[in-house]
Structure 1
Amino acid sequence: MIHIDFLSSIYPLSAAKVVDIGAGDGTYARELARAGAQVTAIEIDEVKLEQLQANSHPNMQAMLGRAEAIPLADGSQDLACMFFSLHHVPEEVQEAALREITRVVKPGGRLHIVEPFPYGSMFDVVRMIEEETKVRRRSHALMRDLAQRDGFQLLEHKDYVLTRVFDDFDALLTKIVYSDQKRSNALPDVREEMQQVFDLVGETTPEGRAFHQPCAAYHFALNAAG
């Protein structure tokens, strides 16, 4: 997992208390747990929470919660992570979410956010079912702003490409559409065009059709200014 590999290279995950905010189906929470972290996976969607709980790890617990209302005690976490989830947090509560993160992470702790850019072959497919150009741009702008604020010290910033491989179009739908009710409801109107884009931009590999998503990781020390 490229996200966890990079994070592990700059931060010692073993025995760290980590909250994964917007954990989705738990893919990255489980990788954090396998790396030795004690993980609390927070998810707003009850269906995805059930998936999290059904596919857990001994080092992991899953809880219902929101980025702007994290059900954890003050200063209880060493590290907060958001993998491709910040742009899903409504703009009007993003500042509240940042305040919550600084509340639950201990002074001197870390914040690690990875956000996708609004381009790449994976984005070309995703935008057929949900247009995210504006929210993705906004999340990167917020990260640039955050790096200038008191209390946040940007320690690492790295651009890289996440590659996802799917056996076929239905496998992609299972991963990015069927687990989201809003996207599922929109699918009948765009399915044909979406499959055309899948066939056009997907890279044929021995493992299946590969799609590339450029993204950026931002790693902050919190309360760095005292």
Structure 2
Amino acid sequence: MGHIEHLSTLFDLKNKAVADVGAGSGAFSVQLSQAGAIVSAIEIDPDKVAAAREKLPSGVAVLEGRAEALPLADGSQDLLCYFFSFHHVPQEVQTLALHEACRVLNPGGRLHIVEPYPYGSMFDVVRLVEDETVVRTRSHQIMATLAQNGGTFELLDKAEYTLSRSYPAFEDFLKQVVRVDPARKRIFEENRAEVEERFEESLDRSSGGHLLHQPCAAYHFRKR
């Protein structure tokens, strides 16, 4: 199951204003647009913003911005999404980021956050260049308590599924996962042999593919 495929079972995306926060290269923003949404792709990295503006279709608005200071008007969005990106929001501003989500959502608007778990074959390889055990664990803890005590958001659905990605060669993994982040690239150069060995050990070749698997949970909230 893919992120947008699952989201589409919970929310009709057609003609809805949707913000994709932490959009990166914009892959999920494009999928949202293809599903009929009116998409704003929000990314903090100016280089990624520039690249996305060149590559993404004109129907996707690419905006530079931060999770805690979104470049969007009050009540302007039907849906706000984080796909594997909330745990990258600095801990000290995560609460502010959730307040921003509330600000830009219209009454009854939806907040959809998908976070990877700190386990799985993908995690086993990536942790050698960036161990996200602590930040991923904290993110799931925040999601688990967000709807408690009559807060701003009501949890409508939680679903667990596994995202599988194909990497026919180690170089494909490097290009998509390691080299996109300068910090990861630096650590990788110091541990290349160990990372490549773990990659080869972790690949799922049972169906003739070259897959790494990342279990995750999707939390779907409604603004009260």
Q: TM-score, normalised by structure 2?
A: 0.96
Runs of 4+ in structure 1 over 6 Å off: none
User: Which amino acid is the alignment partner of residue 88 of structure 2?
Assistant: H
Farther off after superposition, 71-80 or 148-157 = 148-157
Cα RMSD (Å): 1.3
In structure 1, how many angstroms separate the alpha carbons of the residues matched to 2:107 and 2:184? Answer: 38
In structure 2, how many angstroms separate the alpha carbons of the residues matched to 1:107 and 1:181? Answer: 40
Identity, in percent, stands at: 49
In structure 1, how many angstroms separate the alpha carbons of the residues matched to 2:49 and 2:58? Answer: 16
In structure 2, how many angstroms separate the alpha carbons of the residues matched to 1:44 and 1:184? Answer: 19
In structure 1, how many angstroms separate the alpha carbons of the residues matched to 2:79 and 2:57? Answer: 18
Q: What is the DSSP-based 3-state SS (H/G/I as helix, E as strand, rest coil) of the residue aligned with 2:72?
A: coil
Specify whether residues 207 and 60 from structure 1 end up closer, same or farther in structure 2 by C-alpha distance, changes over 3 A only.
farther
8 Å contact kept, 1:25–1:51: yes
Partner of 2:180: 179
Partner of 1:136: 136
Gaps of 5+ in 2: none
Specify whether residues 207 and 102 from structure 1 end up closer, same or farther in structure 2 by C-alpha distance, changes over 3 A only.
farther
Partner of 2:189: 188
Q: TM-score, normalised by structure 1?
A: 0.95
Partner of 2:73: 73
Q: What is the DSSP-based 3-state SS (H/G/I as helix, E as strand, rest coil) of the residue aligned with 2:13?
A: coil
The number of aligned residues is 223
Farther off after superposition, 204-213 or 9-18 = 204-213
8 Å contact kept, 1:17–1:38: yes
Q: What is the DSSP-based 3-state SS (H/G/I as helix, E as strand, rest coil) of the residue aligned with 1:219?
A: strand
Shift of 1:205: 5.9
Farther off after superposition, 64-73 or 177-186 = 177-186
Partner of 2:125: 125
Shift of 1:46: 1.6
Farther off after superposition, 21-30 or 44-53 = 44-53
Deviations 1:119-162 (A, max 9, x none): 00000011011000010000000001102141210001000000
In structure 2, how many angstroms separate the alpha carbons of the residues matched to 1:55 and 1:213? Answer: 27
Partner of 1:61: 61
